[in-house]
Amino acid sequence: MGDILGLIAKRLGLGLVILFVISIIIFFMVELLPGDIAQAVLGQGATEENVAALRKEMGLDKPAPVRYLEWLGGAVTFDFGNSIVTDEKVTTLIGERFKNTLFLASYAAVIAVPLAIILGIIVALLRNSIFDRVVNVATLTSISSPEFFLGYILILYFAVNWGMFPAISSLSEDMTMWELLNRTFLPALTLVLVVTAHMMRMTRAAIINLLASPYIEMARLKGAPPWKVIVKHALPNAWAPIINVVALNLAYLITGVVLVEVVFVYPGIGQALVDAVSKRDFPVVQACCLIFAGTFILLNLAADVGAILTNPRLRHPK
């Protein structure tokens, strides 16, 4: 147990170092963008005195390293400053939107994870059959299609032609759970189509790789049915790579929803990021990017820990 806790502590420390490096990249990439933020806020008709006063108010008159340290100190306490456009606290501005993104990602994950694992087991049982080939073609097509393309195709058929679901995922506080699930079904389905293919193919590959093992051959020689060989013998030893790919795809569900939220006008953090970029609201841009990076690193850590806990060879390397 101590070895596992030590390994988790090392991975967590490495994740913090990576997040620190990413914060430097995020801040100084924004700094390198052309144009003057104060000038962009006030417009071309602003006087030099007004621009200078706003630059001082925003702290832009300080050297970049000093401003970075101040921003990092605030970010550690979840204080990302105020929005340039609305002067609202950034945490307040993106807090509710981040909850919406987490809901959409959870909605998609509840559908995608069991579906991918079940399909992976089935195609492993029926490998090299017509069903296996059809599923492989379908998953490769899904992986190769951009999210915005899949989203527009779903809107065309499910919203425009058939009228089953709304094309725009607008939310309100007085919505019932059924209305919420109905309005967010199309963006969730778009994400499901993308991540299910990755997880299904990894599950299939992990199980097929284990089917050539000696203990699997022994189980077959004892007369165990194919489903029992996979479920009771192969699947428990395939959990490590499956957990890895599931965690990575969950990270994608949260950090890769920008295009999906824009297509369906979903009020999530991805839409907030796009709006902030178009308005040059850099405090919001920096906060969204740092949240995406932190979420991805945290879920990668969860993937590593899950793989270690499910694999005795990793738990006891000696």
List beta partners, residue 153.
none
3-state secondary structure labels for all residues of 222-284: CCCCHHHHHHHHHHHHHHHHHHHHHHHHHHHHHHCCHHHHHHCCCCCHHHHHHHHHHCCCHHH
Amino acid 294: pLDDT: 87
Q: Which whole number is the average pLDDT over 305-309? A: 73
Helices 185-210, 90-125: crossing angle, 10 deg rounding: 40
pLDDT for residue 317 is more than 60:
no
Band (pLDDT 50/70/90 cuts) for residue 2 is: low
Best CA proximity match to 195, nearest among 245, 159, 230: 245
- The separation between CA 128 and the C-alpha centre of its own chain, rounded to angstroms, equals 32
Q: Where are the domains of the chain?
A: 2-76, 96-315
Please tell me the least confidently modeled range out of 10-19, 22-31, 36-45, 203-212: 36-45
Both tokens assigned to 95? 């807090």
Output the pLDDT for position 187: 92
- Compute the average pLDDT of residues 184-205: 87
Per-residue pLDDT tens digits for 236-292? 777 777 777 888 788 888 877 888 888 898 988 888 888 888 877 888 888 888 888
Looking at 1.10.10.10, 3.30.530.20, 3.40.30.10, 1.10.3720.10, the CATH number of the domain 96-315 comes to 1.10.3720.10
Q: Any idea what the Cα angle at residue 101 is, between residues 99 and 105, rounded to 5°?
A: 115
Residue 41 banded pLDDT, cuts 50, 70, 90: low
pLDDT of residue 224: 79
pLDDT value, residue 43: 67
Task: Give the ranges where 2-89 is alpha helix by DSSP (H).
Answer: 2-31, 37-42, 48-57, 64-76
* C-alpha triplet 171, 148, 131: angle, nearest 5°: 110
